[in-house]
Amino acid sequence: MVDLLFLGTGGGRFNLVRQMRGTGGFLLLGKNATIHVDPGPGALLRLHAAGLDPQKTDALIVTHMHVDHVSDAGVLIEAMSDHMLSKGGVLLASRSVISGDRHGDKSISTYHQSRLEQCVTLAPGEKKEVRIAKAKSGRPDSFSITAVPVKHDDPTGFGFVLTLDGVRIGYTSDTEYLPAVHDKAFAGVDALIANNLKTADDHIPDHLNSGDLVKLLKSAKPKLCILSHMGMKLIVSGPELEAARIQSASGVPTYAGKDGYYYCTERCGWFDAAKEKKKAKEGKSRKDEGQKRLTL
Ligand SMILES: [Zn+2]
Ligand SMILES: [Zn+2]
């Protein structure tokens, strides 16, 4: 079972500044491991709002160097490394993020990188087995990840297919549709998270739009698709409506992701993270009270 928690389903430069939808990326919450993908602006605050402890994060994946995918990575490394007091956490990222782009700009400082347990550069097309030896849950875990090539402004960026607890999750990251690559790479995944910036009639180079996404879904046939990284126009015109259009044209169950909500692959439904956390806390305190009564 994996929960896919969305901290930010907004994309594009206009939404980035206005924050109509968040830009904190998403989390893969497995049985033992917590993986945060593309922690852009607001990731830390939205983690707290969802009732999660940033110090419980085990791994960060940063797919490329754009600010809407990486700005909160440094502060999350501070959380993972116990306030920089020890080494902690795994980072998987593009070469541009770890070593610098063509101008030499690094997205995560050497100082922060030095406090990681593991710092792994992932190249498009590469496959890695990642072991989380010191998982915050106390139970070590591992996952496999294959970096999927993209057509985007950062040539070292990647999407991925990641297998955690037996669930295969695909993520397009920011990219234009590459049929020869993406149809095969995302074939049959349990869930495909698509950074669908634009509607079908509103193209922009280097990004995905609904028309191309339908082609990808028809060919790759994932079990379900979740829209994220939606641009301002799509947000205003109605993400749920867009998801319904994509679903009826592709035949693939499609949802519009929502900030603060998670999709549970076992229960096949959506849940409000903060509300679920509150319920769990109340349940626990009721249980504690019961235990107290028994010991009196
Ligand atoms: Zn980008
Ligand atoms: Zn982006």
- 246-291 confidence digits (pLDDT tens): 999 999 999 999 999 999 999 999 999 999 999 988 887 666 665 5
Q: Given strand 269-272, what is the order of strands in its sheet? A: 118-121, 90-93, 59-62, 34-37, 26-29, 3-6, 261-264, 269-272
- 229 Cα–ligand 2 center, Å: 7
Number of domains present in the structure of the chain: 1
On whether the CB atoms of residues 89 and 116 are closer than 8 A, the answer is: yes
- 284 Cα–ligand 2 center, Å: 39
- 153 Cα–ligand 1 center, Å: 7
- 220 Cα–ligand 1 center, Å: 23
- 184 Cα–ligand 1 center, Å: 22
User: What are 44-55's pLDDT values in tens digits?
Assistant: 999 999 999 999
pLDDT exceeds 50 at position 295: no
pLDDT exceeds 60 at position 293: no
Ligand approaching nearest to the C-alpha of 16: 2
- 231 Cα–ligand 2 center, Å: 10
pLDDT value at residue 110: 97
- 160 Cα–ligand 2 center, Å: 15
Ligand approaching nearest to the C-alpha of 154: 1
Question: Quick one: how far is CA 10 from the chain centroid?
Answer: 12
pLDDT value at residue 294: 42
- 79 Cα–ligand 1 center, Å: 25
Q: Where are the alpha helices (DSSP H) in the chain?
A: 13-18, 43-49, 67-70, 73-80, 95-98, 110-113, 179-185, 210-220, 232-237, 239-250, 273-295
Ligand approaching nearest to the C-alpha of 9: 2
pLDDT value at residue 217: 98
User: What are 55-114's pLDDT values in tens digits?
Assistant: 999 999 999 999 999 999 999 999 999 999 999 999 999 999 999 999 999 999 999 999
Q: Any idea what DSSP says for residue 55?
A: G
- 181 Cα–ligand 2 center, Å: 20
Ligand approaching nearest to the C-alpha of 66: 1
pLDDT value at residue 289: 60
- 206 Cα–ligand 1 center, Å: 8
pLDDT value at residue 285: 66
- 9 Cα–ligand 2 center, Å: 10
pLDDT value at residue 77: 98
Domain with 87, as residue range(s), is 3-295
Ligand approaching nearest to the C-alpha of 229: 2
pLDDT value at residue 287: 61
pTM confidence score: 0.95
| Per-residue pLDDT band at 203 (split at 50, 70, 90) | confident
CA distance 80 to 84: 8
Closest CA to 134 of 78, 181, 90: 90
Ligand approaching nearest to the C-alpha of 197: 2
- 293 Cα–ligand 2 center, Å: 53
Ligand approaching nearest to the C-alpha of 231: 2
Query: Kind of pairing, strands 159-164 and 167-171?
Result: antiparallel
pLDDT value at residue 288: 60
pLDDT exceeds 80 at position 125: yes
DSSP string, 248-259: HHH-S-EEE--T
- 248 Cα–ligand 2 center, Å: 26
Q: What is the CATH number of the domain that holds 269?
A: 3.60.15.10
User: What are 138-197's pLDDT values in tens digits?
Assistant: 998 999 999 999 999 999 999 999 999 999 999 999 999 999 999 999 999 999 999 999
